[in-house]
């Protein structure tokens, strides 16, 4: 990379095919938002759509809105839009519940498939560094169903050596929440298939951030988040995709009335719907789904400007610029990059480590209007991390430049030493 300058960043912004999309978000003045990997920014359309849903659809239409405003079909319709971001087809994705709950459903189905087809396979493999909720769900299900959860460190040992004959399921997060390291989904899926292992992918940090094609890699199951890169709002519903070859095989364990083939027959007996809607459980949070719909509409709008390819190219360029500037300007203060330096191995996130006081540094940065976040480590192998997410829909190259200017000042003036920053809030 040429030595970057503010002028070069201005030039890159002028060339950026996605530049118009920033205007579709409401971003507070004076804030550079580098936390869209945790909670996406607010699309301007969301306020109007949700206000309309409250005042008119709920306030006036009342219960008629389940039909007349399309509420009942919303999880499926939003799912169809998400499908386009992950290489799935219409009718294969449903937006519902949380990532944790959806993981419970699909892991349970994967276990049922293994029990039926390969009863000698009793292990579930995941990563020690996976997001904790994934591991908690797997621990709970393994206990309940008599499987063994094995956590591996793929940085230390090749994944292949762990996929022994007794492994039923490989459950991975595509882009790691701490480091932003990205698995090669195609190679890992092929390896798993060759060993007769079912794959479950958590796409929480992938959907909308990096190109994904669940059919091309022949994945078995995928889940993901609505409130991160999809900009659905706090607590927005998650999504679930199941390879059509598995959908009809088993009930998912949370067989609620919204997953019934004919929910309004009010039959005492459960008959699951034939398609992905069987992965719904109870009544869906319509206002949150409307928020998610607005967030995803911006991705559909991005199709006009190059779609996921343009988003990925810009994401790589933004993260490379950030990494370059960190190395050039912040390494004298003991700040270094822990995310993979090779863009092919990295999602849309860059994580840093500091010599000391990572939490306080993040707080001092937030005080200066640069919002990232902090993730506590666990010992020498897992240091405390400063996380920065790059959402190409609303971030510019000048934003990255200015974020580094502020970072430099925080370090130069030792602003992180301020006693205000010592107390940790409940959400870091
Ligand atoms: C990889 C990953 N999976 C799952 C979750 C949690 O999802 P939920 O709160 O929707 O269950 C997160 C949250 O940050 C995450 O990063």
pTM of structure: 0.97
pLDDT reported for residue 420: 87
Ligand 1 binding pocket includes 428 (Cβ within 6 Å): no
Is residue 322 annotated as a catalytic residue, yes or no?
Answer: no
Ligand 1 binding pocket includes 100 (Cβ within 6 Å): yes
Separation of 351 CA from ligand 1 center, angstroms? 17
Separation of 313 CA from ligand 1 center, angstroms? 25
Separation of 39 CA from ligand 1 center, angstroms? 11
Closest atom of ligand 1 to 225 CA is: 10
Separation of 246 CA from ligand 1 center, angstroms? 24
* Residue with CA at minimum distance from ligand 1 atom 16: 177
Separation of 333 CA from ligand 1 center, angstroms? 32
Is residue 136 annotated as a catalytic residue, yes or no?
Answer: no
pLDDT reported for residue 158: 85
Is residue 227 annotated as a catalytic residue, yes or no?
Answer: yes
pLDDT reported for residue 230: 98
Ligand 1 binding pocket includes 173 (Cβ within 6 Å): yes
Is residue 228 annotated as a catalytic residue, yes or no?
Answer: yes
Q: What is the pLDDT along the chain (428 residues), one digit of tens a residue?
A: 778 899 999 999 999 999 999 999 999 999 999 999 999 999 999 999 999 999 999 999 999 999 999 999 999 999 999 999 999 999 999 999 999 999 999 999 999 999 999 999 999 999 999 999 999 999 999 999 999 999 998 876 689 999 999 999 999 999 999 999 999 999 999 999 999 999 999 999 999 999 999 999 999 999 999 999 999 999 999 999 999 999 999 999 999 999 999 999 999 999 999 999 999 999 999 999 999 999 999 999 999 999 999 999 999 999 999 999 999 999 999 999 999 999 999 999 999 999 989 999 999 999 999 999 999 887 667 889 999 999 999 999 999 999 999 999 999 999 999 888 878 888 87
Is residue 97 annotated as a catalytic residue, yes or no?
Answer: no
pLDDT reported for residue 162: 95
Q: Of 25, 131, 221, 421, which one is the catalytic site residue?
A: 131
Q: To test the ligand 1 pocket, which listed residue (103, 127, 204) has its Cβ within 8 A of the most ligand atoms?
A: 204
How far is Cα 100 from Cα 167, in angstroms, rounded to an integer?
22
Separation of 53 CA from ligand 1 center, angstroms? 27
Q: Of 227, 359, 390, 407, which one is the catalytic site residue?
A: 227
Nearest Cα to Cα of residue 320 among 251, 404, 263, 228: 404
Closest atom of ligand 1 to 101 CA is: 11
Ligand 1 binding pocket includes 137 (Cβ within 6 Å): no
Q: Of 105, 228, 278, 375, which one is the catalytic site residue?
A: 228
pLDDT reported for residue 380: 65
Ligand 1 binding pocket includes 239 (Cβ within 6 Å): no
């Amino acid at each position: 990379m040429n030595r970057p300058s503010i002028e070069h960043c201005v030039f890159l912004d002028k060339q950026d095919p996605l530049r118009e999309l920033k205007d579709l978000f409401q971003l507070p003045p004076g804030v550079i938002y580098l936390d869209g990997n945790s909670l996406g920014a607010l699309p301007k359309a969301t306020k109007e759509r949700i206000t309309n849903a409250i005042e008119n659809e709920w306030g006036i239409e009342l219960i008629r809105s389940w039909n007349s405003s399309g509420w009942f079909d919303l999880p499926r319709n939003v799912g169809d839009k998400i499908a386009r971001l992950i290489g799935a087809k219409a009718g294969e994705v449903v937006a519902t519940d949380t990532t944790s709950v959806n993981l419970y459903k699909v892991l349970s189905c994967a276990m049922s498939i293994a029990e039926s087809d390969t009863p000698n396979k009793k292990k579930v493999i995941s990563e020690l560094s996976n997001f904790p909720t994934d591991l908690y769900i797997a621990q709970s299900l393994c206990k309940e169903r008599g499987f063994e959860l094995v956590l591996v460190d793929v940085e230390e040992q090749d994944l292949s050596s762990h996929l022994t004959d007794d492994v039923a399921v490989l459950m991975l997060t595509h882009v790691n929440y701490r480091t932003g390291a990205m698995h090669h989904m195609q190679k890992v899926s092929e390896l798993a298939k060759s060993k007769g292992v079912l794959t479950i992918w958590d796409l929480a940090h992938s959907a909308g951030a990096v190109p994904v094609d669940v059919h091309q890699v022949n994945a078995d199951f995928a889940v993901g988040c609505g409130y991160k890169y999809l900009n659905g709002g706090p607590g927005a519903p998650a999504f679930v995709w199941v390879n059509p070859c598995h959908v009809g095989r088993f009930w998912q364990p949370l067989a609620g009335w919204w997953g019934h083939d004919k929910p309004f027959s009010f039959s005492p007996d459960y008959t699951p719907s034939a398609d992905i809607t069987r992965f719904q459980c109870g009544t869906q949070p319509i206002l949150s789904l409307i928020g998610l719909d607005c967030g995803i509409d911006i991705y559909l709008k991005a199709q006009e400007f190059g779609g996921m390819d343009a988003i990925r190219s810009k994401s790589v360029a933004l993260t490379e610029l950030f990494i370059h500037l960190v190395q050039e300007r912040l390494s004298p203060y003991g700040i270094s990059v822990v995310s993979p330096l090779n863009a092919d191995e990295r999602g849309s996130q860059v994580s840093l480590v500091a010599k000391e006081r990572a939490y306080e540094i993040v707080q001092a940065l937030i005080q200066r209007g640069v919002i990232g976040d902090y993730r506590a480590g666990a010992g020498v192998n897992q240091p405390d991390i400063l996380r920065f997410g790059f959402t190409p829909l609303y971030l510019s190259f000048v934003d990255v430049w200015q974020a580094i200017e502020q970072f430099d000042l925080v370090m130069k003036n030792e602003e992180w030493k301020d006693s205000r920053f010592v107390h940790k809030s409940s959400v870091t």
